[in-house]
Amino acid sequence: AQTVTQSQPEMSVQEAETVTLSCTYDTSESDYYLFWYKQPPSRQMILVIRQEAYKQQNATENRFSVNFQKAAKSFSLKISDSQLGDAAMYFCAYPEWGAQKLVFGQGTRLTINP
Tell me the Cα Rg of the chain: 14
Rounded to the nearest whole angstrom, what is the least distance from the CB of residue 107 to another protein in the complex? 5
Q: Which residue from 45, 64, 74, 111 is in contact with another protein, where contact means CB under 8 A?
A: 45
Rounded to the nearest whole angstrom, what is the least distance from the CB of residue 105 to another protein in the complex? 5
Cα distances from 50 to residues 21, 58, 59, 95, in angstroms, run: 15, 10, 7, 12
Q: Are 54 and 4 in contact (CB under 8 A)?
A: no
Which residues make up the interface to another protein (CB under 8 A)?
Answer: 4, 33, 35, 37, 43-47, 50, 91, 93, 95-96, 99-107, 109
